[in-house]
Structure 1
Amino acid sequence: MLFPDEEKAVDQLKDSVVSSVQESMAQVQMDSEELASVGKKNIEEEFFSASLAPAHSLWTSDARSSVRLRIEEGCPEEPVTVHQMFIASVEKYGNMHALSSKKNNKWEEITFLEYYQFCRRAAKSFIKLGLKRFHGVAILGFNSAEWFYSAVGAIMAGGIMTGIYATNSPEACQYVASDSKANIIVVENQKQLDKILQIRDRLPHLKAIVQYSGQLQQKISNLYSWKEFMQLGQEVSEKQLDEIISSQRANQCCILIYTSGTTGKPKGVMLSHDNITWTANHASRVGDMQPADTKQESLVSYLPLSHIAAQIYDLWTGIQWGELVYFAQPDALKGSLVYTLREVCPTSHMGVPRVWEKMMEKIKQEISQCGYVKKKLVTWAMSVSLEANRKCMQKDDEKPFLFSLAESFVLQKLRAELGLSRCQKFFSGAAPISSETVQFFLGLNIRLYEAYGMSESTGPHFMSGPKAYNLPSCGKVVPGCQYKMANVDSEGTGEICFWGRNIFMGFLNMEDKTREALDDDGWLHSGDLGRIDEEGFLYITGRIKELIITAGGENVPPVPIEEAVKKELPFISNAMLIGDKRKFLSMFLTLKCCSNTETMEPTEELSVEAVEFCRQLGSQATKVSDIIGGRAKEVHRAIQEGIDRVNSAATSNAQRIQKWTILRKDFSVSGGELGPTMKLRRPVVLEMYHEDIESLYQG
């Protein structure tokens, strides 16, 4: 049931949309069947059906159930489904370019109207293959236009879309596909297909597999090429699809995001249509993303779409605001990303912290290889930019004349080398970013706007932006969202709790885990510790589950200590504090190394930065094996001195690092120590290196 004000808002919105669609349809050449699919009658039905499905609770663990939305009094935004959001964008941006893919060395673009029609075709094919209401369509592969068509098409067809990380093992794929009752799995290529074929017999709900890239190498029943798949739905009428679309409600589940399982088996985060459409609308406003009818934004899609950060940023915000999305090459994170960036020069760019760190390491390496004069000039320009940006926290603050010189003669050229010459907005999300990385990019006059949130909050709940920037905070709460601090201590630190239209429906088939995450009043408990300053800026101080409690009962947040060590010792790649239930703290260290360009596995070879650091210490080490086991005494001495400096700032003796060891190889996703978004998987590391830990505490 809608309140009178809500009914009035719906009527006004409906009239506006119908009028707008009629005008735009007169300008767009479509055949009679296409016109019928998005004509006045269907648009009217779309907005008459904006009422919500009956619901009695704020949460559920059943994919077929509905939830009460957290709509506050006076909230102006009427809930809309994903299809309603898309059709509204087609009205406004129908003839503008939406997606661009590189094929045969040439960029090929499609419009929003074509994008919408491809999604409808995919939806009809899913229906033909027997997709059941609220059953899954799992997508396994690298970002592409076909990934987008499958995602939107699955939702239009009444299914629930879920991404599977391309790095997942066959067993991990089986868990997600089984848990989501996937009727169809869409795979990128033969490599991903092979994983599914290994587990096919263990997927009772699976009806078909679709491969969207490359030729099919074998004839298997219910396996389709992308071309075959897109032709399957020709027999399904537009009316049948429209009836399924019009039956959907904004408070029903349409997406599953699986957590990476860093602290147990993955949980399926159920997100409603309203979670997606509301967040796509609001979060991007903080980052100053512009609607296409004002200025079309462009971006490069390369981060895993299985993760909520990339999905909201690339896919759903792209539809909401009419952005032009370029798809990177599958080897983007192996080195080709910078070439794509240089070609397309996006206006906005997002990376997880590890991506920004890798970019920083690459720039440092190139600077180190410059001649004396050029190196001095770059170093001067970056120091001027860093100082100016530190003093001028708001982007429109007036900067000194020296900064203008540095910007014009040096920094603009450096950013152009990265493909960021037109980029105005830079975002970091999915994990905390180090202060060293933020400061380095300030030296390039690049402000990294940090977003903080969870899969369970549909991505960002707090964000930095041009009008909400204060280092080292991760910004202010997104307008329309709320927060509270639970169990606040004497220093003002407490657990951060979330409330708003972006809060998830619940964990699929996990009532107990849902009850753990949501309190009796419906607040989402993040598990993160932080404090809020007087201006409303949030500062993350640690994670409850990551807190190390020593044998003496001392609570030690590991992240600040780990970051301090990496800051003191720039050739350290990863630092992990150990000491839960132990008498003292120890630390694992890994060195910065080169990676195999094919497998992305860390090698024995030290990075250029690490080799240079060793040279400065008087060591000729070029490999990890040259340093571990007591070799390279100069390096060991430097590490101990760095740790001593960190220990001197410790708040108590219990927070001092007593022992440390260098591991034989760096952490990686393929090695299992890092999750898909490069987060440290502490429980996994503790188990993998159990013997090394015990040796630290012997005697």
Structure 2
Amino acid sequence: MSAIQFHAVNGFIRDDKEMNQSIRYATASETGLDGPDQVLATDVDTTCEANGKVRIKLDKNECNSSIPVSIPGAFTKTANLYPDHIALVSCPGVDGKRTMYTYREYEQTVRTVAKAFLELGLERHHSVCLLGFNSPEWFIADLAAIYAGGLATGIYTTNSPEACQYCAEHSKANIIVVEDRKQLEKILQIKKNLPNLKAIIQYSGIPTEKDVLSWKDLLEIGKKVSDSKLLSVLKTIGANECCTLVYTSGTIGKPKAVMLSHDNLLYDARLLFIKLQIQEKSETLVSYLPLSHIAAQICDIIGNVLAATTVYFADKNALRGSLVETLLVAQPTAMLAVPRVWEKIYEKMQEKARSNGAIKTWIAKWAKAQGLYYYTNKMNGVDYKNWSYVFAKWLVFDKIKAALGLQKCRIFVTAAAPLNIDIKKYFLSLDIPIIEAYGMSECSGGHTVGNHKEYRTYGVGIPLPGVYTKLDNIDENGEGEVCMGGRHVFMGYLNAPEKTEEAKDKNGWLHSGDLGKIDSNGILSITGRIKELIITSGGENVAPLNIENAILSELPALSNAMLIGDKRKYLTVLVTLKSNMDSETGEPLDTLNPDVLKWAKSIGSDAKTVTDVISSRDPLIYEEIDKAIKRANAYAISNAQKVQKFEILPHDFSIPTGELGPTLKLRRNIVINMYADLIEKMYQ
């Protein structure tokens, strides 16, 4: 049970020379001439071809000097080291039982499915598209595609048939693996438009459609194929070629296919685990975030292969409220969540707190004060657990964690979007220090992450050991574009050289499009996005993120705030009130959240629904929102950055209603189009 250890080198650099000093390239003589752990010959650092290879840069940094390996090579090693350790635990079946895979069974099943894919006609550098909710079958099919020399390609379950067609056609999919009848119907609608498609597999339930294989059928096919067929393909694989495609959410234009190599993925996962002090064969995780997104792939699939973690699978209602049920069973040691998940847990805890009596409420308030006092001191350099904190931990904190299934959890991470600092402080007061991570698909997932030992409530942490970071085009406020370098930077966008050149320059720097600042502690804070910059008609550049967060911090009854003002005379904002959610569909309901009802009553309003508020333009609620915006305006650096007007939208943002993408990121252009008339009203 050894820790994955490398010497950590953190920080930022200012020029290309510093990143490229003492560079050399991994060679076949170091890795062997037979796959899959070999480095295939090439003289380029970027490619947009499915069968392309890129050089792997090594240098004197201990992390960067590690010899490349492939995903099949890493997985085989882990399975041989820990054959009887539990790798995967499914969600309960119709009989209520969970299926478990040991590492020996897991890796052997991957090989069986890889052989079946080859038998069904999977060609080198063609894709296997995966469309379904997290499950052992998703993991197995993903890795089997890689073993068989194909490209594992996730498709978001929320995609329309047309969006599925684009991904499958663009990646030349030979095989599509779907979860159930609902997802199968999307593929059946577009099947005739996919000339490369040779097989469809449904892994949940028994397919009734002709020529659609069940998971059992797939395994039977694979068992009849000789191992030599798979071994001959494995010998051709290289650690420096593409094995996975991650399609961006495509909020503007067609999605781009991010090409990631074996080395990209394993290198990034290794660095994350070094920083988070992940222990081999000792960690338990819960898989529930979309596997078509890089964050879940790195933590759930690649992390599982690399560090022999045990992964429990939540059911498909996890993001609608059932996640805690899986947490209670799994008892994870680490948890990754997007802000909306932490917000939902926070709302449930607030709802529970309202039912407490006076004594319990007083005890909880006292305990939270002790927790916040301890962490405030810790952030100021005083790491001393006094008796009050220890008593509060025993009396309150441990019980709360147990109720959430998090009593064994020591790593709490949020990613994909900013988490409201007030919610972060709330969890901190309960002895749950949530650290932020930052990255993108193009850097294989993570690039910076916070530190539990040197906790901060702000920023997205410091760079991982072994990666390079600089700010480009720094302005007078010390703000510039965040650029990343290292072995985790992607190969290129499939079939899109122009887009690739925009993102990855000739020196290997990945231009994130995010604006950031670095403080005296070396902590990176993301302050906005270049493409989301609002330029007013007066020429003022405005980053919406800070203003939106300031408004939300001033009034917890608001769930979202979206700034408007591009090419306009002044700034306005669209806001949403927190409302209840349909547990089946995930759609927002008209009824106000219990916290909002309580707040509305406290200011004298009788409103029970969003419709009540908007139809009557409830003067009490509108006045409080106006006051909150004015308080936020007090922090503005100029009059041009002050919000002048607002409107309340008829429902909260969500994936089903279109305002949020599959990874719960705000789709600004979509919102602007949806509410164009309301926006114009604010400028009349």
Q: TM-score range by the shorter chain?
A: over 0.9
Structure 2 distance, partners of 1:135, 1:4, is 27
Distance apart, 1:87 and its partner CA: 1.1
Report whether the alignment pairs 1:51 with 2:41. no
> 3-state DSSP class of the match of 1:61?
coil
Alignment-mate amino acid for residue 583 of structure 1: K
> 3-state DSSP class of the match of 2:527?
strand
Asked if the contact 1:176/1:258 (under 8 Å) is kept, the reply is yes
The residue that corresponds to 1:508 in the other structure is 494
The residue that corresponds to 1:197 in the other structure is 188
Distance 1:633 1:416, change over 3 A: same
Distance apart, 1:468 and its partner CA: 5.1
- Once the two structures are overlaid, the 10-residue window that deviates more, 431-440 or 545-554, is 431-440
The residue that corresponds to 1:62 in the other structure is 49
Asked if the contact 2:371/2:428 (under 8 Å) is kept, the reply is yes
Report whether the alignment pairs 1:138 with 2:129. yes
Structure 1 counterpart of 2:269, from 280, 283, 288: 280
Distance apart, 1:4 and its partner CA: 11
Structure 2 distance, partners of 1:7, 1:658, is 63
Structure 1 counterpart of 2:249, from 260, 267, 271: 260
> 3-state DSSP class of the match of 2:666?
coil
Asked if the contact 2:26/2:58 (under 8 Å) is kept, the reply is no
Structure 1 counterpart of 2:503, from 517, 540, 543: 517
Distance 1:604 1:128, change over 3 A: same
Distance apart, 1:396 and its partner CA: 9.6
Report whether the alignment pairs 1:186 with 2:177. yes
Instruction: Render the CA deviation track for 1:131-172: whole Å, top value 9, x for unaligned.
Output: 010001000000000001100000001110011111111111
Asked if the contact 1:481/1:498 (under 8 Å) is kept, the reply is yes
The residue that corresponds to 2:140 in the other structure is 149
Structure 2 distance, partners of 1:64, 1:190, is 33
Asked if the contact 1:569/1:642 (under 8 Å) is kept, the reply is yes
The residue that corresponds to 2:227 in the other structure is 238
Distance apart, 1:627 and its partner CA: 0.6
Alignment-mate amino acid for residue 55 of structure 1: T
Structure 2 distance, partners of 1:586, 1:599, is 31
Structure 2 distance, partners of 1:478, 1:616, is 46
Unaligned runs of 5+ in 2: 1-22
Asked if the contact 1:288/1:465 (under 8 Å) is kept, the reply is no
Alignment-mate amino acid for residue 364 of structure 2: V
Distance 1:7 1:164, change over 3 A: closer
- Once the two structures are overlaid, the 10-residue window that deviates more, 102-111 or 677-686, is 102-111
Structure 2 counterpart of 1:226, from 215, 228, 231: 215
Distance 1:394 1:353, change over 3 A: farther
Q: CA RMSD in A?
A: 1.8
The residue that corresponds to 1:470 in the other structure is 456
Aligned residues: 658
Report whether the alignment pairs 1:532 with 2:514. no
Asked if the contact 1:334/1:597 (under 8 Å) is kept, the reply is yes
Q: Which has the higher contact order (CA 8 A, sep 6+)?
A: 2
Superposition pairs for residues 313-352 of structure 1, below 5 Å?
313-352=299-338
Instruction: Render the CA deviation track for 1:638-695: whole Å, top value 9, x for unaligned.
Output: 1111111111221111011101000111111111110111110111111111111111
Report whether the alignment pairs 1:118 with 2:104. no
Instruction: Render the CA deviation track for 1:408-440: whole Å, top value 9, x for unaligned.
Output: 101111111111111111111122222122111
Asked if the contact 1:89/1:322 (under 8 Å) is kept, the reply is yes
> 3-state DSSP class of the match of 1:519?
coil
Asked if the contact 1:142/1:188 (under 8 Å) is kept, the reply is yes
Structure 1 distance, partners of 2:329, 2:565, is 48
Report whether the alignment pairs 1:375 with 2:361. yes
Distance 1:4 1:288, change over 3 A: closer
- Once the two structures are overlaid, the 10-residue window that deviates more, 145-154 or 483-492, is 483-492
Asked if the contact 2:48/2:497 (under 8 Å) is kept, the reply is yes
Asked if the contact 1:574/1:589 (under 8 Å) is kept, the reply is yes
Structure 1 distance, partners of 2:305, 2:400, is 31
Alignment-mate amino acid for residue 159 of structure 2: N
The residue that corresponds to 2:5 in the other structure is none
> 3-state DSSP class of the match of 1:627?
helix
> 3-state DSSP class of the match of 1:168?
coil
Structure 2 counterpart of 1:653, from 610, 628, 639: 639
The residue that corresponds to 1:22 in the other structure is none
Structure 2 distance, partners of 1:394, 1:143, is 41
Structure 1 distance, partners of 2:134, 2:251, is 23
The residue that corresponds to 1:19 in the other structure is none
> 3-state DSSP class of the match of 2:516?
strand
Structure 1 distance, partners of 2:315, 2:405, is 15
Distance apart, 1:263 and its partner CA: 2.7
Distance apart, 1:71 and its partner CA: 2.4
Structure 2 distance, partners of 1:599, 1:5, is 49
The residue that corresponds to 1:214 in the other structure is 205
Structure 1 distance, partners of 2:412, 2:676, is 39
Structure 2 distance, partners of 1:79, 1:183, is 28
TM-score, length-scaled by structure 1: 0.92
Superposition pairs for residues 425-440 of structure 1, below 5 Å?
425-440=411-426
Structure 1 distance, partners of 2:380, 2:641, is 36
Unaligned runs of 5+ in 1: 12-43
Distance 1:51 1:660, change over 3 A: same
Alignment-mate amino acid for residue 88 of structure 1: K
- Once the two structures are overlaid, the 10-residue window that deviates more, 51-60 or 392-401, is 392-401
> 3-state DSSP class of the match of 1:392?
helix
Distance 1:55 1:355, change over 3 A: same
The residue that corresponds to 2:409 in the other structure is 423
> 3-state DSSP class of the match of 1:539?
strand
Structure 2 distance, partners of 1:50, 1:154, is 16
Structure 2 counterpart of 1:597, from 583, 586, 599: 583
Alignment-mate amino acid for residue 128 of structure 2: V
Asked if the contact 2:449/2:462 (under 8 Å) is kept, the reply is yes
Distance 1:393 1:250, change over 3 A: same
Structure 1 distance, partners of 2:250, 2:27, is 40
Asked if the contact 1:291/1:323 (under 8 Å) is kept, the reply is yes
Distance 1:393 1:330, change over 3 A: same
The residue that corresponds to 2:6 in the other structure is none
> 3-state DSSP class of the match of 1:174?
helix
- Once the two structures are overlaid, the 10-residue window that deviates more, 234-243 or 671-680, is 234-243
Structure 2 distance, partners of 1:566, 1:131, is 50
Report whether the alignment pairs 1:162 with 2:153. yes
Superposition pairs for residues 493-642 of structure 1, below 5 Å?
493-642=479-628
Instruction: Render the CA deviation track for 1:331-363: whole Å, top value 9, x for unaligned.
Output: 111211111111221111110111111111111
The residue that corresponds to 1:386 in the other structure is 372
Distance apart, 1:629 and its partner CA: 4.1
Distance 1:259 1:400, change over 3 A: same
Alignment-mate amino acid for residue 277 of structure 1: L
Report whether the alignment pairs 1:86 with 2:72. no
Asked if the contact 1:477/1:483 (under 8 Å) is kept, the reply is yes
Asked if the contact 1:469/1:475 (under 8 Å) is kept, the reply is no
Instruction: Render the CA deviation track for 1:33-90: whole Å, top value 9, x for unaligned.
Output: xxxxxxxxxxx955xx643212222111111111122323453211111111101111
> 3-state DSSP class of the match of 2:218?
helix
Structure 1 counterpart of 2:433, from 447, 450, 456: 447
- Once the two structures are overlaid, the 10-residue window that deviates more, 366-375 or 309-318, is 366-375
Distance 1:468 1:306, change over 3 A: farther
TM-score, length-scaled by structure 2: 0.94
In percent, how many aligned pairs have the same letter?
Answer: 46
